Structure 1
Amino acid sequence: MRPMERWRPLAQDGVLAAVMAALLSAVVFGTPGAGAVDLAAALAGSLALLAWRRAPLVSLFAGTACMLVLTARLQPGPLAAFPVLISVFAAVRTGHRTAPALAGVVFLGVDLAVRLPGAGGLVRILEDTSLLVGWFVAAGVAATVTRHRQAYLAEAERRAAEAERTREEVARRRAGEERLRIARELHDSLTHSISIIKVQAGVAVHLARKRGEDVPPALLAIQEAGGDAMRELRAALEVLRDPGRPGDPGRPGGSDASGAGVAPSGLDRLGDLVERARSAGLPVTVTVSGTRRELPAETDRAAYRIVQEALTNVSRHAGGAAAAVRVDYADDELVVQVDDDGGADPAAPPVPGTGLLGMRERVAALGGRLRAEPRAEGGFTVRAELPLEQPVRAEPRLGGPS
């Protein structure tokens, strides 16, 4: 709460007390025979209104006592009832019933008692008393309505907060169920297929060596790729089944896996990736510049995945082309660039597929920049600029068409 808002109610109460003190003081000064006791009672009863919000019972007792003194000595009329009315309203609003009812009855009784003896116009006196009774009843009713309204608003806020919490719990549960479903589907489909590929490649390598034949490099690449695919699939399944584990890719500082014997994919495995690409028939050169150092886990993983996807795209879409991988460790960012000399035409940029979209999502999640487009001299380039600070979720800043 801002200071102005905190002090505003106190300032309003001060103005109310000052106005009431001025009115009652005018009555005291205008009544013959009034003395210092009457003025003190008027001022004290008015000052009691400063506490009607924070300490309603204190305001009620002090104000009623002072106004009883003033009423008994001067008979100032309905004006003396105002401090008592305000205090009754405050006390009923905070849930008190007996104290404000007694205060109202006592004040009305004293007021009626001091006005009856020797007073003319009984009907007028009864009318004034009836009017005061109506005011007190109205104050009590208004306070009760206000109290119920505040309780209703508080309950509505509580229910809204509970509903929001329930929605979040339901959303988390559904997300967890969906992750388990995806994990089951991946396990039942991809695990079986990759296992067959790995086993068959291993059998072929074994038979070739048993017969004394040279094992084709492509077959060795298939065997190694099958093992890597199985490893990474298991890591992904572990994350899907247990999103809270340290290896969750969605958690800061996480890795693709944290199970025993499962190493995360990062630039330390760039050499293996390049060798597999070469064994598959793709000429690849690698240039690393700058001081190599430990990278944030998500940045390291994103850089590896970008190179992996870029080399896969070169093999699939630029047959016979050569690729050049450049990794630059700058002071505040990591630059990863993959160029090929294929037949991509700047005048006809390719339609972005899932691979390029995945690259953009990874780079955007780290607050970096991505440029993926045909080169003017021919071929295609993928350039990612990744910050070397801890990953910050940011909107993508894209550097060219995909």
Structure 2
Amino acid sequence: MSELVSTASPTLVRGRRGDHTPSWVIDGLLGTAVALGLALIIATSEGGTRPPDFLAYVFAFGFGALLLLRRRMPRTVLVLSVLGMFAYYALDYPPVGVAIPIVAALFSTTEAGLMVWSVGVSIVVFAVSMFYRVLDGGEAIGFLLGYESVSNIALFAAAIALGYGVRARRTQAIQQAEIMKLTEAQLAREAELQVQRERERLSRDLHDIVGHSMSVISLQAGVASEAICSDDRAASEALDRIRTTSTRSLGELRSMVRILRSPTDHQETRRVQSLAAVQDLVDAAKGAGIEVDVAINIDSSDLSDTVDVAAYRVLQEAITNIVRHAGATHAQVKADIHEGQLFLVITDNGRGSTVDDRPSGYGIAGMTERARLLGGSLTARSIVHDGFTVEAIIPARLP
């Protein structure tokens, strides 16, 4: 950023929005003002051994014409202005002061970021002027130091300060534009990260759907295999469950793939299962020989869509773990909302295993991360007298 500040040219901002005046018009008006001002001073000034003639006014309009180049060659304009002023006085024309002919050039040089040149030239001009004024001896030293020097220094300082102020404001505008550009880029990156996070959540959903469905299909396939020839009705029911589960899973997978292919199509999200589909999970568990008591005292409308889907996935993962690893015969599901928080508890009477004894892909870690991303928490622990509990606390509605 410092390099940008130190090398910024006035031409960089000529095309800014809201800047409707071409630079050459501004330079032309400034040059005209300087030329007319000097011509008026020459016409009304007294002194010098040579009366004002055509050449004197050529000097005046020359100083003004130089300002048309002030943006492209500020140093050259300043040097030529100083040399022109010295030449004017060398011809002994009526005095016009030493500040007026070069004040606009000093302003332009400072505006271009050449502060050293502006200050250095001011010092040189002031020193040379005072030297020759004292050498001529036409005016008292007190007058020169107390009046003439103060007025010249004030004009030099005003021109430099004004040029510095204009440059500072222009540099600030460039910096603000750069900051805005960086801010927009940062917002775009954050939006991309948000999309990526959402797609990661959807990938977890894909894992949950496949993991749960394949577990149920595997169990039912085993039941069907054992029941063939000995219990055709049980085999038929198991095959029906396999067909139902696989069909439903394929439908969910298609919905999720459509979401992943079109991340901006949020209308597809509601096609993913929610707590309203808890009975499907219960039926699947019962098909595996596990009785499930359900006490869900909420409605899907009480939850944000994302929370609803996440709650279903936590419940699905917990029941899948029970079916796969717990060796349980009974499970209980409770869900309620209290003070804006969804409380979801799943318990079973299976082996009192540790969390690590019940792996399932993302498993407990996946459920915990899902709850954390929504501003909640999840704990999983063994019950003292056998069994296992998964408890999730998630804000019911996201801000």
1:246 is aligned to 2:266: yes
Aligned mate of 1:386, from 389, 394, 398:
394
Aligned mate of 2:295, from 284, 288, 293:
288
Residue type of the alignment partner of 1:155:
I
Secondary structure of residue in 2 paired with 1:247:
helix
Deviation at residue 378 of structure 1 after TM alignment: 1.6
Secondary structure of residue in 2 paired with 1:337:
strand
1:274 aligned residue: 282
Q: How does 1:318-397 map to 2 (within 5 A)?
A: 318-328=326-336, 330=338, 332-345=340-353, 354-388=362-396, 390-392=397-399
Deviation at residue 342 of structure 1 after TM alignment: 2.0
Aligned mate of 2:247, from 206, 209, 227:
227
Residue type of the alignment partner of 1:126:
L
Task: Report 1 or 2 for greater relative contact order, CA contacts < 8 Å, sequence distance ≥ 6.
Answer: 2
**Residue pair 1:372, 1:383 contacting (<8 A) in 2 also:** yes
CA distance in 2, matches of 1:303, 1:278: 20
Q: Deviations over 1:252-296 (max 9, x none)?
A: xxxx34xxxxx44122211111112222x1403223164657322
CA distance in 1, matches of 2:340, 2:195: 37
Q: How does 1:21-32 map to 2 (within 5 A)?
A: none
Deviation at residue 138 of structure 1 after TM alignment: 1.5
Secondary structure of residue in 2 paired with 1:299:
helix
CA distance in 1, matches of 2:198, 2:167: 46
Deviation at residue 137 of structure 1 after TM alignment: 0.5
Residue type of the alignment partner of 1:372:
A
Gap regions ≥5 residues in structure 1: 1-87, 96-119, 249-255, 258-262, 393-402
CA distance in 2, matches of 1:318, 1:324: 13
Deviation at residue 346 of structure 1 after TM alignment: 5.8
Secondary structure of residue in 2 paired with 1:294:
helix
2:166 aligned residue: 147
In structure 2, the CA distance between the partners of 1:124 and 1:291, relative to structure 1 (3 Å rule), is: closer
Aligned mate of 1:123, from 129, 138, 141:
141
CA distance in 2, matches of 1:368, 1:179: 17
Deviation at residue 135 of structure 1 after TM alignment: 2.1
CA distance in 2, matches of 1:132, 1:334: 79
2:122 aligned residue: none
The normalised TM-score by structure 1 is 0.50
1:308 aligned residue: 316
Higher fraction of helix:
2
**Residue pair 2:352, 2:385 contacting (<8 A) in 1 also:** no
**Residue pair 1:310, 1:338 contacting (<8 A) in 2 also:** yes
1:13 aligned residue: none
1:236 aligned residue: 256
Deviation at residue 309 of structure 1 after TM alignment: 0.5
In structure 2, the CA distance between the partners of 1:241 and 1:171, relative to structure 1 (3 Å rule), is: farther
**Residue pair 1:335, 1:385 contacting (<8 A) in 2 also:** yes
CA distance in 2, matches of 1:179, 1:291: 25
In structure 2, the CA distance between the partners of 1:289 and 1:323, relative to structure 1 (3 Å rule), is: closer
CA distance in 1, matches of 2:194, 2:315: 30
In structure 2, the CA distance between the partners of 1:158 and 1:182, relative to structure 1 (3 Å rule), is: same
Q: How does 1:260-271 map to 2 (within 5 A)?
A: 263-271=271-279
CA distance in 2, matches of 1:308, 1:285: 13
1:12 aligned residue: none
**Residue pair 1:349, 1:374 contacting (<8 A) in 2 also:** no
2:56 aligned residue: none
Deviation at residue 156 of structure 1 after TM alignment: 1.6
Gap regions ≥5 residues in structure 2: 1-102, 112-137
The normalised TM-score by structure 2 is 0.51
Secondary structure of residue in 2 paired with 1:285:
strand
**Residue pair 1:363, 1:386 contacting (<8 A) in 2 also:** yes
CA distance in 2, matches of 1:180, 1:150: 45
| C-alpha RMSD of the superposition | 4.6
In structure 2, the CA distance between the partners of 1:159 and 1:133, relative to structure 1 (3 Å rule), is: same
CA distance in 2, matches of 1:340, 1:378: 9
Deviation at residue 141 of structure 1 after TM alignment: 0.6
Q: How does 1:25-64 map to 2 (within 5 A)?
A: none
Deviation at residue 167 of structure 1 after TM alignment: 4.6
Residue type of the alignment partner of 1:132:
S
1:62 aligned residue: none
CA distance in 2, matches of 1:340, 1:179: 31
1:69 aligned residue: none
Secondary structure of residue in 1 paired with 2:148:
helix
2:156 aligned residue: 137
In structure 2, the CA distance between the partners of 1:182 and 1:370, relative to structure 1 (3 Å rule), is: closer
Deviation at residue 298 of structure 1 after TM alignment: 2.7
CA distance in 1, matches of 2:201, 2:274: 25
**Residue pair 2:276, 2:300 contacting (<8 A) in 1 also:** no
Secondary structure of residue in 2 paired with 1:305:
helix
In structure 2, the CA distance between the partners of 1:370 and 1:319, relative to structure 1 (3 Å rule), is: same
Q: Percent identity?
A: 24
Aligned length: 250
Residue type of the alignment partner of 1:272:
D
